[in-house]
Amino acid sequence: MYKREFENLLKRDLPRAILIYGENSYLISLYIDYYIKRTNALDTLRRDYYDDYNFTNAKAYLSQISLFGGTNLLIIKRDKKIPKKELDTLIELVSKNSDNYLIFHYEGSSKDAKSMQSSFTPKKGAIWVRLFEPNRDESITLLQKKANSLGLDIDYYALQHLILTLDGDLALCSNELKKLAILNRKIVTKDIDSLVYSTAPLAIEQLLIELFEKKPINKTLTRLFDLGEDEFSILRSTQFFINQIFLFNSYMKIYGNIDSKAILGYKLPKQIEDKKANLALRVNSKAILKIYELLLEVELNIKKTPPKNRELLLYGAFIRLQSYL
User: How many CA within 13 A on the CB side of residue 176?
Assistant: 26
CATH number of the domain within which 7 lies: 3.40.50.300
CATH number of the domain within which 155 lies: 1.10.8.60
C-alpha dihedral (89, 92, 94, 96), degrees to nearest 10:
-140
Domain boundary among 131, 165, 186: 131
Q: Dump pLDDT digits (tens) for 157-192.
A: 899 888 887 877 888 889 889 988 998 899 988 888
In order along its 325 residues, the chain shows pLDDT tens digits of: 888 899 889 988 899 999 999 988 889 999 999 999 999 888 889 999 988 999 999 999 998 876 556 789 999 999 899 999 999 999 999 998 888 999 999 998 888 899 999 899 888 889 999 998 888 888 999 999 999 999 999 989 899 888 887 877 888 889 889 988 998 899 988 888 777 765 556 667 778 888 888 888 888 888 778 767 788 888 888 888 888 889 998 998 898 888 888 888 878 777 778 888 888 888 888 888 999 999 999 989 988 888 888 888 888 889 999 888 8
Residue 277 shares a structural domain with residue 221: yes
Q: Dump pLDDT digits (tens) for 257-277.
A: 888 888 888 787 777 788 888
Q: What is the pLDDT of residue 305?
A: 87
Residue 307 shares a structural domain with residue 224: yes
Residue 238 shares a structural domain with residue 311: yes
Residue 267 shares a structural domain with residue 245: yes
Residue 88 shares a structural domain with residue 112: yes
Domain boundary among 78, 104, 131: 131
Structural domain including 183 reads 136-197
Residue 186 shares a structural domain with residue 205: no
Domain boundary among 99, 131, 163: 131
Q: What is the pLDDT of residue 119?
A: 92
**What single-letter amino acid sits at 6?**
F
Q: What is the pLDDT of residue 150?
A: 93
Residue 230 shares a structural domain with residue 261: yes
Q: 119 near 81, Cβ under 8 Å?
A: no
Residue 206 shares a structural domain with residue 305: yes
Phi, psi (rounded to 5 degrees) for 47: -110, 120
CATH number of the domain within which 238 lies: 1.20.272.10
Taking alpha carbons only, the member of 47, 46, 104 closest to residue 72 is 46
Residues 6+ apart with CB under 8 A from 144: 154, 156, 159
Please give the order of strands across the beta sheet that includes 46-49. 46-49, 72-78, 100-106, 17-22, 126-131
Residue 212 shares a structural domain with residue 193: no
Q: What is the pLDDT of residue 193?
A: 78
**What single-letter amino acid sits at 186?**
K
Distance from C-alpha of 292 to C-alpha of 294, rounded to nearest angstrom: 5
Residue 19 shares a structural domain with residue 92: yes
Q: What is the pLDDT of residue 198?
A: 59
Taking alpha carbons only, the member of 322, 325, 236 closest to residue 280 is 325
Residue 185 shares a structural domain with residue 143: yes
Residue 93 shares a structural domain with residue 15: yes
Q: What is the pLDDT of residue 234?
A: 87
Total domains in the chain come to 3
